[in-house]
Amino acid sequence: MTVTAVTPIEVEWVDIGSVGDILPQSARVVRTPQGDVAVFRTAADTYYAIDNRCPHRGGPLSEGIVHGDAVTCPLHNWVISLATGRSLGADNACVATVPIKAEAGRLFLAHRPLAAEAA
């Protein structure tokens, strides 16, 4: 397991659950005041968190098929990089990533009191 996003200084980490709550190659949703965040676990047991809205038409990325370090949106098949939030097709669009870390079997999401962290 690896920490997957640069950690901003003074970040507040919130325990969102156990690492085992998410199956490999799938995602769960965390509801936050700024909107839903999709938390992903890849086949290699890397964890990522990004806003649960496809930059194309707002599709719920948490419902997409996870392959490698990417997810395919269920609405119109846009492919989004989980590491950068960027769309991998011709369209240069981006979704916000959220810092996440796994420690001692627990998952911690960076609390975002103000603005989302764009990678």
Partner 1 sequence: MSTRATRERLVVIGNGMAPGRMLEHLMERAPARYEVTIFNAEPRVNYDRIMLSPVLSGEKDFQEIVIHGDGWYIKHGITLYKGHKVVAIDRAARTVTSEHGETVPYDRLVIATGSVPFIIPVPGADLPGVLTYRDLDDVNAMLLAAQGREKAVVIGGGLLGLEAAAGLNARGMDVTIIHLMPSLMERQLDPAAGYLLQKAIEARGIKVFTQANTTAIRGGRKVEGVELADGRVLPATLVVMAIGIRPNAALAREAGLDVNRGIVVDAGMRTSDPGIFAVGECAEVGGQVYGLVAPLYEMARVAAARLCDDHSAAFVHADTPTKLKVTGIDLYSLGDFADGDDREEIVLRDATAGIYKRLVLKDNRIIGTVLFGETSDGAWFNDLKKRDVDITEMRETLIFGQAYQGGAALDPMAAVAALPDDAAICDCNGVCKGQITAAIGSQNLTDLDGVRAHTKASASCGSCTSLVEKLLVLSLGDAYRPAAVQPICGCTDLGHEEVRRLIIVKRLKSIPAVMQELAWKTSGGCAKCRPALNYYLVCDWPGEYVDDSRSRFVNERVHANIQKDGTYSVVPRMWGGVTSPKELRAIADVAEKFAIPTVKVTGGQRIDLLGVRKQDLPAVWADLNKAGMVSGHAYAKGVRTVKTCVGTEWCRFGTQDSTGLGVKIEKAMWGAWTPAKVKMGVSGCPRNCAEATCKDFGVVCIDSGYELHFAGAAGMDVKQTEVLCRVATEEEAIEHGLALVQLYREQGRYLERIYKWARRVGVDTVRAQVVEDHERRRALAERFRHAQSFAQVDPWAERVRGVDAHEFRPLADLTMMEAAE
The reply on whether position 8 binds partner 1 by CB under 8 A is no
| Near partner 1 by CB under 8 A: residue from 75, 83, 94, 116 | 75
The reply on whether position 116 binds partner 1 by CB under 8 A is no
Identity at 87, one-letter amino acid code: S
The reply on whether position 16 binds partner 1 by CB under 8 A is yes
| Near partner 1 by CB under 8 A: residue from 65, 83, 94, 119 | 65
Please give the sequence-ordered ranges of beta strands (E in DSSP) within 12-117, or none if there are none. Answer: 12-18, 26-32, 35-41, 47-51, 65-67, 70-72, 79-81, 97-98, 100-103, 106-111
What does the binding site for partner 1 look like in residue numbers (CB under 8 A)? 14, 16-17, 21-26, 28-33, 36, 39, 42-44, 57-60, 63-68, 72, 74-75, 77, 79, 109, 111, 113
